[in-house]
Structure 1
C-alpha cells in the first residue's frame, strides 16, 4: 500500500482515538516513531507506516471498558501486544504500549524484565518467530531462545497470557515510583521510567490535528533513541512485518 494512503488512514485513526480518549477522560501519549515525528516534523516520519501510543495500565483498562460499554466500531486486537483497530479500516492500527509499575531495586528490576522476556518468547507463534531477528544473536542466545520457545509449547496460551498479565500488573511493583512498558519489545521493555513521565500531558500539532504527548517527551525520546533522537535511523525490517500483516492477515499480537 502506498505510504501516503497509509498516513492518511493512520491520521484518521489517530484522530478518532484522540477524540474517544478525550470524551472519556483517558490519557495517553504518542510514542516511538510517532512521537518522534510529532516533535521533529509535526507529523509522520516519511517512512513510518504505523502509529504508536503508550498509556498506563489504569488508562488502558478504562479504554477497554469504554469500547466494551459502547460496542463501537473500534476494538483492541491482541491480549499482550495490543493494537487499537477500526472495523472499517483494517489495513492500519495503533500499537498500544502499556506502562506498569516496577520496583526501584535494580536486581529485582532485572528479574521482572527477564521473566517478562521469557514469557514473551513462550507466547510467540510461527509468524512472530519468523520475524524475531534471532540471526543477530550469538549461538548460545539462539539456543536459549528456541529452548524457551519450545518449552512454552507445554503450556496453554491462556495460562501464559494470564501469567504475563499478572506479572506485569502485580510483580515487583515497589513503591509505584517507576514504570516500564511491559508489552514492548525487549529493548523498549528494559527502559525504566519515573512514574511522573506518564502523569502530565499536553497537546501538540500533528499533521492537520492536535494529539496528546507526555510533558516529558524529551526525556522519553532520549531514553529510546539517545540524545541525537532528532536524526532517526530508518528501520526497514519493521515495515516488512507490517506489509506481511496487511497482505496475509497475520496477527502478531500475543
Structure 2
C-alpha cells in the first residue's frame, strides 16, 4: 500500500493547484465516483484508491481544456483525445510529468504514463425518457466500438455482465482495430454529448464514467453542490450525497471484500520515480 499512499499525496497536492485555478476563474466542479465515496465514507481517499475523479459542467470543462489549463505549473500537463490522437480515452487527464507510473491495464502496450487526475465533462441529457434512452444507447454503442478497438487494454478484472463478457470474447477474436477509427468514434460521442446543455436539462450525464448509464441522473442531485471534507481540504460534491452514491454503489458504506479491493488499483509507481 506504500505506492498507493505516495500516489494519493501527489494527487492531493495537484488537486489543490487545480482548485486554486477553478476558484480564480469561477469554474464549477464536483467530486465524482470513488473520490466522492471516499469523502463521505473515509473523509478523504478510499485507502486503496489511487486516483481523483472530478466533473465540470460542459461549459466550464471547455473553458478549462481550451484556455485555463495553460496557467498550470510546467510540471502539470493536460491531455485528451484532441491534444493527442493516440490518447485512448475520451475524458481529460491532468498529468504530473515528474512521476512516472505504469497503468496496470495498459502495462502490456504502454511503457509508462504519469500520475493523473481524471476530469469528466458533465452534460445535459434529453428530458424525455425515450429520447434519453436512445441517446444513452447511441453513446454506449460508440463507446463499445472504442473498447473493442483497444481490446488489449480492456480491464479484465472489472465485474461485467454476460453480454459484456461475450463481446470481449468476440473482440479478442476479431481485430476491430482494422475497421474502427477510435478518434472518429470519440468525435461522434463528443457531438452526441453536446446536444443538450447542462443548464437547460433536468437530467445530466457523466456517461463516460465507469458506471455508464448509472451516471445519468436527475440534475437536482447536483444542484447548488455542497462542500465536504477530503483529507486536509474541503471539496465540492453533489448536494444529495446519499442518492448519488446509492445509485452508483448500492450500500455504499459497506467495505468491499479483499478480492474486490485488489482489483481497484489503477497504477504502479516505477522504481525510483518520485515527485521530487
- Give the TM-score normalised by the residue count of structure 2: 0.74
Within 5 Å, give how 1:191-230 maps onto structure 2: 191-226=215-250, 228-230=251-253
Find the counterpart in structure 2 of residue 102 from structure 1.
125
SS at match of 1:170: coil
Structure whose residues are more often helix by fraction: 1
Within 5 Å, give how 1:84-99 maps onto structure 2: 84-91=94-101, 92-99=115-122
Mind listing any 5+ residue stretches in structure 1 that lack a counterpart? 248-254
CA contact (8 A) 1:36 1:221 kept: yes
Does the alignment pair 1:123 with 2:150? no
Does the alignment pair 1:54 with 2:55? yes
Task: Show CA shifts across 1:59-106 (max 9, x none).
Answer: 211211333553753333233132222333454212223221112333
Does the alignment pair 1:178 with 2:186? no
Query: Once superposed, what is the RMSD of the aligned Cα atoms?
Result: 3.0
Find the counterpart in structure 1 of residue 273 from structure 2.
none
1:180, distance to aligned residue in structure 2 (A): 1.4
1:147, distance to aligned residue in structure 2 (A): 5.7
CA contact (8 A) 1:84 1:93 kept: yes
Classify 1:59/1:218 alpha carbon distance in 2 versus 1 (closer, same or farther; 3 Å): farther
- Give the TM-score normalised by the residue count of structure 1: 0.80
CA distance in 2, matches of 1:146, 1:100: 32
Select 1:81's aligned residue among 91, 108, 129: 91
CA distance in 1, matches of 2:42, 2:219: 27
CA contact (8 A) 2:222 2:237 kept: no
1:132, distance to aligned residue in structure 2 (A): 4.7
Select 2:183's aligned residue among 158, 171, 189: 158
Runs of 4+, deviation exceeding 6 Å: none
Mind listing any 5+ residue stretches in structure 2 that lack a counterpart? 82-89, 102-114, 271-276
Moved more, 149-158 or 48-57: 149-158
